Structures are given as C-alpha cells and as structure tokens.
Amino acid sequence: MQEQIRLQKYLADCGLGSRRFCETLITAGRVSVDGKTVTELGTKVAPDTQTVVCNGQTLAKEPPVTILLNKPPKVICTSDDPQGRTTVLDLLDDLPERVYTVGRLDFMSEGLIMVTNDGNLAHALMHPSHHVEKIYKVWIDVPLGYHQLKKMTRGIPNGGETLRVLAIDEGRHTKQGVEYTITLGEGKNRHIRRLMEHFDKKVFRLMRIAIGPIRLDELKPGEWRRAKPAELKLLRKAIAEKKGSNGQ
C-alpha cells in the first residue's frame, strides 16, 4: 500500500515554503489533488500515485538541497517584496531548485541564513522545542555594564515576552564600536535589538555567525554555497540532542 503523508508536508518537501506557509496555500484553495481542490489541512496524499497541483503547476518532490548564505544588510528574507527590495532568493537567481529561507534576519541584520527545500529539516529547525543555539556578533556605541550583562542572562520582560541570552562575553572595543558575542537559545523577533534598546544602546551592526554547528566562516556578503553532508549530519545531531533534552 502506498504510504500517505500530510499534504502540507508534501508541499514543503516540494520547496513551496515552510509547512505553516503551505497550510495557508491549502486553506486558500490554491491546491488540488487529482483535479479536486482541497482545503482541509488533515488531507493526506500518496505522491507516487496522485497528482498534486498548486497555483496551476504540477508538483514533484525535488532532491533536497540546503544553502548557506551570508545575507548582506538591506536584503529581506521573504520570497518576494511588494516594495521591490532585494530578497535572499534574488541572490540565488541561478539556483535551479525551488527553495525558501529557514527563519529570518531582519532588514538591516546580516550574516548566516539557511535556505532549503528540505521540509523535514526546516520544520525541525523552526519547531519551538528544537531550537539550536545561534551565535551573533553585535557592535554598539557604549559598553554594557556588569549588572546589565547579568540581567540579559537572567531575562528581561519586554513586550509580553522574556528576552534572555544564553551567553554574552565581556565585549571589546573596535573601530566599528564595542563588539559583543551573544549566544541565543530561542530567538524572538528583533531579540538582540530589543535588548539593546532596553539599555539605551545604539546598534551599529548585527551579524549572525553560527546556527548550531554550522558556521559562517569565510563566506563574503552575498556569497553562498551548498551545505556539506557532514555539516547537515552535525546539524541534525544537534537538533536531536535539543529534542531529547526537552523530553520529546
């Protein structure tokens, strides 16, 4: 008997976006199975024997690909932008596979971003209980005080959320400002920028340098490369360890 999988998972595996985004495609009536429009999220399909169409295009699962990219400032992490700004996917215009970003960096932030069509990997990375550690460098105008550093590790209420860091170093003075290396466990929207705003610090530059064991290394702004199998193996191991530590 042909194995069936949830329709939103299959759409994600075909590179249309995250599972959550694919759910919106289904509920909007933009997906059909064997010629019939499907809007129920619980629908399962047998990809080898059924025809799935989205926005008029017949889908087929592509070989998995994961890209590591150094996002420059003033580039957005959505598939397209009504304002015509440069997107991460614009930097990958010669890539044959359909891919989407895993997580985001805000408009002015830069550094390591992952782009993939691997729905399972993207889902695991974005699941709240599986968040792997991410490391950032931030340059600000004035040094943080000892007690401010301690408060950041304990957690600071902000906008109905608690913002905290797993680790932050003592900082060092550079030509670009006072530089800190920060490790986050679970990154919330504008997490580091909101922490710095809380202490009235001006952020000159913010760069992500690592996602779990994956490092930015020598990639220059705008450059990208395919992730190595060994890197993906280490990443999946880190996700599994995080999942196990949360009792999943």
Active site residue 106: yes
Place of tokens 């930015």: 216
Which residue in 67, 236, 70 sits closest to 137, CA to CA?
A: 70
Q: Read out DSSP for the chain?
A: ----EEHHHHHHHTTS--HHHHHHHHHTT-EEETTEE---TT-EE-TTTS-EEETTEE--PPPP-EEEEEEPTT-BSSS--TT---BGGGGGTT--S--EEES---TT-EEEEEEE--HHHHHHHHSGGGPPPEEEEEEESSPPPHHHHHHHHH-EEETTEEE--SEE---EEETTEEEEEEEESSPPTTHHHHHHHHTTPPEEEEEEEEETTEE-TTPPTT-EEEPPHHHHHHHHHHHHHHHHHTT-
Residue burial 136-152, b: 16+ Cβ < 10 Å; e: rest: bbbbbeebbeeebbebb
Q: Which of 106, 118, 141, 217 is catalytic?
A: 106
Joined together, the tokens standing for residue 4 give 């069936």
Catalytic residues: 106
